[in-house]
Copies of this chain bind each other. A is one copy, B any other.
Amino acid sequence: MQEANDEGRVKSGARAGDGRKPRADAIRNRERVLEAAKAVFSQGGPAASLEGVARQAGVGIGTLYRHFPTREALFEAVYRREVEQLVELVQALKAEASPAEALRLWLRANVAFVATKKGMLAALALATQKNPDLMAYSSDRLTQAVGELLARGAAAGEIRDDIGPEDVLRALIGMCYAQDRPDWQDSVLRLIDVFVDGLRLRGQPPG
């Protein structure tokens, strides 16, 4: 009768309403399933077999379903995680590269993401249709992340300050949208270089 949990939205994971900590094996298995799901969805798209995911994760199908009661829940968890990784990449790049270069590398990483995870994109189309919040959430997170890169560049006088993060994301989406030919990646990578060059301020500060 306790257990009204089911959490704000996220199910299945850590303690929330009830102050209890999940068991160690539960955490481990949850992780395994997520890892396997990432691979399987990337490869096979949104209709990929969940039993296949469980097999690859080395857990029973029942375990998979306890952690993620629906296909959408599983996909959503995988996707949120990917978004989080892209956000973290921003932090890492800030430490390693000049502002403009960091932006360029981050955009390139996104292209790689799209290219590697083809199936995930189709799955995303399905998932956002059933749960619009997911799109809103990821847009916010990514906008904020790009915003940091831009602000840093602007502060350093390396990048113009009249282009907002939404514009950059929209450009990225637009460029990745037309996956009409086998060599679309090359094309988009070139476009990104051009785009970042366009964002650069010409009169460079010392350094």
**Which single member of B46, B47, B132 contacts A180 (CB below 8 Å)?**
B132
Counting CB contacts under 8 A, is A113 at the interface? no
What is the interface of chain A mostly: helix, strand, loop, or mixed?
Answer: helix
**Which single member of B126, B135, B179 contacts A45 (CB below 8 Å)?**
B126
Is B180 a contact of A129 with CB atoms below 8 Å? no
Q: Which of A85-131 contact B (CB under 8 A)?
A: 118-119, 121-122, 124-126, 128-129
Counting CB contacts under 8 A, is A173 at the interface? yes
Residues on the B chain within 8 Å of A136, using CB: 180-181
Residues on the B chain within 8 Å of A119, using CB: 129
**Contact (A126, B122) CB under 8 Å given A46-B47, A47-B46:** yes
Is B132 a contact of A121 with CB atoms below 8 Å? no
Counting CB contacts under 8 A, is A174 at the interface? yes
A152 to chain B: closest CB distance in Å? 26
Copies in the complex: 2
Q: Which of A2-46 contact B (CB under 8 A)?
A: 45-46
Q: Which of A139-186 contact B (CB under 8 A)?
A: 139, 170, 173-174, 177-182
**Which single member of B125, B177, B179, B182 contacts A173 (CB below 8 Å)?**
B177
Name the residue on B nearest A119 (C-beta).
Answer: B129
Name the residue on B nearest A133 (C-beta).
Answer: B180
Cα(A45)–Cα(B71), bound, Å: 14
Cα(A79)–Cα(B139), bound, Å: 28
**Contact (A118, B122) CB under 8 Å given A46-B47, A170-B174:** no
What is the 8 Å Cβ interface bit string for chain A, positions 45-61, against chain B (1 contact, 0 not)? 11100000000000000
Cα(A128)–Cα(B125), bound, Å: 12
7 of the cross-chain contacts (CB-CB < 8 Å) are A45-B126, A46-B47, A119-B129, A122-B126, A122-B129, A125-B126, A139-B178
- Closest 5 pairs (CB-CB, A-B): A125-B125, A122-B125, A122-B126, A136-B180, A132-B180
